[in-house]
Amino acid sequence: MGGDLGPKAVVEGIGYALKRWPERQTRYLLHGDEAALGPLLLKHPKVAAVCELRHSDTLVQMTDKPAEAVRRARGSSMWNAIQSVKSGEAHAVVSSGNTGALMAISKVILRMKKGIHRPAISANWPTPKGHTVVLDVGANVQCGATQLVEFAIMGEAYHRAVFGGEHPSVGLLNVGQEELKGNDIVREADGLIRNSGLDMAYKGFIEGNDISAGIIDVVVTDGFTGNIALKTAEGTARLVAGWVREALTSSFFAKLAAGLLALGALDRLKRRMDPRYINGGVLLGLKGIVVKSHGGADGEGFASALGLAQVMAKSDFMSQIRKNLDKFASFEEQDIAAAS
Amino acid sequence: MGGDLGPKAVVEGIGYALKRWPERQTRYLLHGDEAALGPLLLKHPKVAAVCELRHSDTLVQMTDKPAEAVRRARGSSMWNAIQSVKSGEAHAVVSSGNTGALMAISKVILRMKKGIHRPAISANWPTPKGHTVVLDVGANVQCGATQLVEFAIMGEAYHRAVFGGEHPSVGLLNVGQEELKGNDIVREADGLIRNSGLDMAYKGFIEGNDISAGIIDVVVTDGFTGNIALKTAEGTARLVAGWVREALTSSFFAKLAAGLLALGALDRLKRRMDPRYINGGVLLGLKGIVVKSHGGADGEGFASALGLAQVMAKSDFMSQIRKNLDKFASFEEQDIAAAS
């Protein structure tokens, strides 16, 4: 029911997902207002054929504060959708709704995995070679060093689960100048990752320009910096796209050129620059798969989030994450024992 | 003597600056090794005609730590160049050298303006409408709320001085989700700016994607986030430029299109995406104008930093900044008096 376009984006998104991945036999539980969803399904019979509608009387508003949402959410479409993962009816939940509420209700219903303090939101960041996983992109605006280590563990397992790499490389986002080796928390996290015996290809500090370069598989940062980096990149891509568009419409010759380009290359360029194709952040660290679709996503965008949820559900992320979490837990126990 | 290309970029940079702004009657004191600079000036007689060479025996290495650099720097080219601003011989200093050392030595020789704790580095960020000033982009990795207010005051005055706007708008960089109103420091700074009676068009919180959008004139953030945002934007622009290049060389038709575009629009696009044309960060808050050119800048890039130093030297930035600094100082005094 959430997001700027509401149920329309969801139903159309399922339609696009069916077209994009016809081989995946995904079925959907649609939680929401029957009066809104029913007519949409009538218009999209192919979507209706793979959906089961579950009516809910209430919904979480985009403006609800997380704590309020948790108190009032029982029986809402968001609550019921997450509950269907808890009960085992669904393998994953995808929502365009209120991010803070989604996180808070997921924590209440699904609970955190042992050894993880709070969920982190991941983003799949395009590079010339594929994708870099960046986390946290907005769940935790104030992080301690231990949380950054948890993000590294989750991000590494997530990269293996979604992109299938064997030993994804992990970097900690920091500032570049030699004289400024970053703030205390980043330095402490660097020491923790190096010393806690994790099974991880840890590469140390990386800089902002490395994210898009494709030289690192997983970028770890706090939710404040990560959110700003992600949105700054979106803004920059939009700026450059505007310049390209201007260049392609600036004169008769330019328009002719654009016409020639449209025969193929420009379409590919447009698609690459289209954030809808990389939509979907996973709330990592929960005992269940929760995917957040961008609130502004349309059907194309929502389909990308559905595709990501499908890949996560098929993967062994949940078990992959365990080994390093256990290693870190025993390192921390030794550390506490040594200190006392 | 600093930067990846050393004195060559500096001497060629003066040459480019002479061509770009033939009407500016700038003269240059070149501080450095005579044996390196002398032959370069012989090759560039037009540059030599506006330069005076000042030999120095030593130089600050790119790898020197700031504290070391300050102890050992007396008599180095960097020290002497800053000293020539202090003595009034020069209106501004431009350096491609070690940023940390430049900042530390500038603080020792020029000293901070009253009411400013540490220098901030500004960046002129391109937008569809012109430029947004972003600071701090790397001088202070850990900032308190008071420092962010100082950045706002300096950035606002800087925008008026360099871009000539009357009431530049100022925003505080923060994360977007409703449920996460940013960390404690950003929230505290927001309150301070709102309550301290500054003469400033303060717009509150803005998000990462707003930086490139041209909807705000001055973006205030700590040096950790600012540095990462700037480098992330550079990386993103490079990624998109690669996609555009690929689109323009992907087929016969694409190459033909690129040939047509090269008749004009593509050149403009290339120039807009060329970071050399926006090179130069000012170290704000000192009693003197210090411009840092990017270490990797070539002659074209260095010329941009020179151009910025010229504009700053001509402007009344130093007096513009005073009014709001005094207002903030008296607000803080009242605040302390009220608390005791």
Inform me whether the pLDDT recorded for B31 exceeds 50. yes
Inform me whether the pLDDT recorded for A298 exceeds 50. yes
Average pLDDT over residues A83-103: 95
Find tokens 């809402």 and name the residue. Answer: A76
Q: Rounded CA gap, A160 and A316, in Å? A: 9
Residue B337, pLDDT score = 79
User: A93, A82 in Cβ contact below 8 A?
Assistant: yes
Residue B253, pLDDT score = 65
Q: How confident is the model at residue B12 (pLDDT cuts 50, 70, 90)?
A: very high
Are A248 and B241 inside 8 Å of each other by CB?
no
Q: How confident is the model at residue A267 (pLDDT cuts 50, 70, 90)?
A: low
Is A127 in the B-facing interface, judged by CB distances under 8 Å?
Answer: yes
DSSP 8-state assignment for residue A4: S
Nearest to B138 among A175, A246, A251 (CB): A175
Residues of B in contact with A266 (CB under 8 A): 247
Task: Give the residue among A138, A173, A166 at the shortest CA–CA distance from A152.
Answer: A173
Are B175 and A227 inside 8 Å of each other by CB?
yes
Inform me whether the pLDDT recorded for B27 exceeds 70. yes
Q: What is the distance between the terminal CA atoms of chain B, rounded to a whole angstrom? A: 51
Rounded to the nearest integer, the mean pLDDT of chain A is 89
- Percent of chain A predicted with pLDDT > 70: 90
Average pLDDT over residues A251-258: 67
A188-197, B88-97, B170-179, range with the lowest pLDDT: B170-179
A289 DSSP β-pair partners: A92
Residue A69, pLDDT score = 87
Residue B207, pLDDT score = 93
Average pLDDT over residues B188-199: 93
Inform me whether the pLDDT recorded for B184 exceeds 50. yes
Inform me whether the pLDDT recorded for B177 exceeds 70. no
Residue B103, pLDDT score = 93
- Percent of chain B predicted with pLDDT > 70: 90
Q: Rounded CA gap, B66 and B186, in Å? A: 28
User: Would the CA dihedral through B177, A281, A49, A11 be positive or negative?
Assistant: positive
A220 DSSP β-pair partners: A135, A172
Output A86 or B62, whichever has higher pLDDT. A86
Average pLDDT over residues A155-182: 84
Query: Domain A117-280+296-340: which topology?
Result: Isopropylmalate Dehydrogenase (3.40.718)
Q: Rounded CA gap, B235 and B248, in Å? A: 20
Output B218 or A180, whichever has higher pLDDT. B218
Are B269 and A243 inside 8 Å of each other by CB?
yes
DSSP 8-state assignment for residue A141: S
Residues of B in contact with A261 (CB under 8 A): 247-248, 253-254, 257
List B residues 321-340 in contact with A (Cβ-Cβ < 8 A): none
Q: Which CATH architecture has domain B120-340?
A: 3-Layer(aba) Sandwich (3.40)
Q: Rounded CA gap, B77 and B66, in Å? A: 15
Q: Rounded CA gap, B180 and B175, in Å? A: 7
User: B85, B110 in Cβ contact below 8 A?
Assistant: yes
Residue A286, pLDDT score = 95
Residue B129, pLDDT score = 84
A243-252, B26-35, B92-101, B210-219, range with the lowest pLDDT: A243-252
Is omega for the bond preceding A33 within 30 degrees of 0, making it cis? no
Q: Rounded CA gap, B214 and B126, in Å? A: 8
Residue A189, pLDDT score = 94
Q: How many CB pairs under 8 A join A and B?
A: 248
Helices (H), A165-273: 184-195, 208-211, 223-248, 252-261, 265-272
Residue B179, pLDDT score = 45
User: A116, A317 in Cβ contact below 8 A?
Assistant: no
Q: CATH 3.40.718.10: which residues of chain A? A: 117-280+296-340
Q: How far is CA B156 from the centre of its chain?
A: 14
Residue B340, pLDDT score = 66
Inform me whether the pLDDT recorded for B112 exceeds 60. yes
Inform me whether the pLDDT recorded for B5 exceeds 70. yes
Residue A58, pLDDT score = 93
Output A254 or A285, whichever has higher pLDDT. A285
A201 DSSP β-pair partners: A169
How confident is the model over A206-242, as pLDDT tens digits?
999 999 999 999 999 999 999 999 999 988 888 888 8
B51 DSSP β-pair partners: B28
A93 DSSP β-pair partners: A290
CA distance to partner chain B, nearest, from residue A45 (Å):
35
Query: Taking CA atoms, what residue in B is nearest to A63?
Result: B178
The amino acid sitting at B149 is: V
Number of Cβ atoms within 10 Å of the Cβ of A176 = 19
Find tokens 């972003």 and name the residue. Answer: B134
User: A78, A60 in Cβ contact below 8 A?
Assistant: yes
Number of Cβ atoms within 10 Å of the Cβ of B75 = 12
Rounded to the nearest integer, the mean pLDDT of chain B is 89
| Burial of residue A129, with CB atoms counted within 10 A of its CB: 0-12 exposed, 13-18 middle, 19 or more buried | exposed
Residue A26, pLDDT score = 96
Encode A247-277: b = buried (16+ Cβ within 10 Å), e = exposed.
bbebeebbeebbebbeeebbeebeebbebbb
Residues 6 or more apart in contact with residue A319 via CB below 8 angstroms: none
Is A23 in the B-facing interface, judged by CB distances under 8 Å?
Answer: no
Are B207 and A231 inside 8 Å of each other by CB?
yes
Inform me whether the pLDDT recorded for B210 exceeds 80. yes
Q: Rounded CA gap, A202 and A189, in Å? A: 12
B205 DSSP β-pair partners: B172
What is the Cα gyration radius of chain B? Answer: 21
Output B318 or B274, whichever has higher pLDDT. B318
Nearest to B212 among A139, A175, A235 (CB): A235
Residue B273, pLDDT score = 65
Inform me whether the pLDDT recorded for A12 exceeds 90. yes
List A residues 49-88 in contact with B (Cβ-Cβ < 8 A): 62-63, 65-66
Q: CATH 3.40.718.10: which residues of chain B? A: 120-340
CA distance to partner chain B, nearest, from residue A273 (Å):
8
List, in sequence order, every beta strand (DSSP E) within B104-194: 120-127, 130-135, 169-173
Inform me whether the pLDDT recorded for A179 exceeds 50. no
